[in-house]
Chains A and B, each alone.
Chain A
Amino acid sequence: MKSSLRVILGFLKKEFAQTLRDPVMRLFLFGAPLLQLTIFGYAITTEFKNLKLAVLLQPDDSVMRELSGHFYNSGWFTRAEAEQGDPEKALYSGAADAVLIAPPGGLTKALGRGNAGLQLLIDASNATKARIVEAYASSIVQKYAASRFPAREPGPGLSFNVRILYNPSLETSYFMVPGVMTMIIALITVMLTGMSMAREKEMGTFETIISAPLKNSEIVLGKTIPFVVLGMADALLVIAAGLLIFKVPIVGNLFVIFAASFIFVCTAVSAGLLISTFARTQQQAMMGTFLFIFPANLMSGIMFPIENMPLLLRAVAYINPIKYYASLLRNNMLKGSYPVVVLPDLAVLTLMLLVIVFITIRRFRRTLN
């Protein structure tokens, strides 16, 4: 037992030395995640702002002018130009995202005759954006009409008193940072383990390890523990950055977050090792890593909703460990550690870890013997 410990410590020392002595590797391991987290956290918003709106109106149309002022002062729209005769041209050339067109003869006159209709041309080449533009525009027009024609406002009506929980100001970084953290930790850990093993195989140093008088379990642990330690260091670094730089709240239990991170890092390391057992060259390991990490990141619910996927693809998303870690991080940070929410995710993640470790050890044994 004592000698096993020494063997594993030996591995630990060797892997650390090999990985950390290289400044480029240090940069990839610690610099890149921090930089990426910071950039993505600051840059990304899910809100649409600075939408380019052109308004077509007659110079003497005072109501329309006032209404267009409400559009530009809403903070969502910026000014753009469009031609009176060919409003679609501005959309075509990309000069505007939407063109608001007054009724023929002007809005002022049309209102004098009764109800008036405005037309809004929206560039729908980005469907999400188009839908948002329409929602913004209807709410501005409705609000304007209600304030200008209070007498004509119909009597009974319904309004929703909406309260948004956990992230009331819809701060995008609260939502993005846990997601980006998940993707970065997964990417680095799987890649590091998979490529490092494949490299030893390709260079033949793995043969040396096999021929050394070591137990299989010692080799497996010796090749995984260093990467778990490195992965955890990265996870802690990224979590700390999320807290310090973006002030993402941790409503839940910090211990649960650590436990989840540990289980997830172990899972990712095993996945990397598993990929490397299938690969004879680094190129194949790279292919395997890419084929795992790219879909796993996209199917994790971080950027794209899982619940909208067709059933078969949803099944794929549900066997993705990244999905559970992302949901654990998000829930623990923003909602809190309610056992009903956290325990199922933790249980599934642990189960996945066990399954992957089991398969990896079986595959590994075949490689060794």
Chain B
Amino acid sequence: MSARRLPPVTQVGMFSLALSVAGGIYLAAHLPEHVPLAPAIVLLGASALLLAGNVASLARVAGFAWGRFFEVARWALLAYAIIAGLILYSFTRDHISGGPLVVLTLSLVVFAVHVPVLIGFTVARYERGEPDVGAQA
């Protein structure tokens, strides 16, 4: 097992997801009344900053298996973009609009990007540069 030190990508990712989810719960709990957007924007901003920080810290890791990371993350991104799109469709069908829709959409973007980053990272961190058995997934 790899003994190299890696940044706490999973922990930071989970915290970022938690902030994003908290913002979504805050908005959902107040609908359809007028919702003060500031708390949701702060939570979303913090979540997005953690996502950016996660990617930046990972980019500084020497010898990280980026090939494996992107091989996994791109398919995960496709899957989670579809999932986020379905949830967004449900929101737009309910005539959610304006500020709440923008914040919810951006929260879904953070979700749809951060989950593939976590999946790609978890696979790539154990990569040892050897070929797989059988066909590719």
Q: Say if A and B assemble together.
A: no
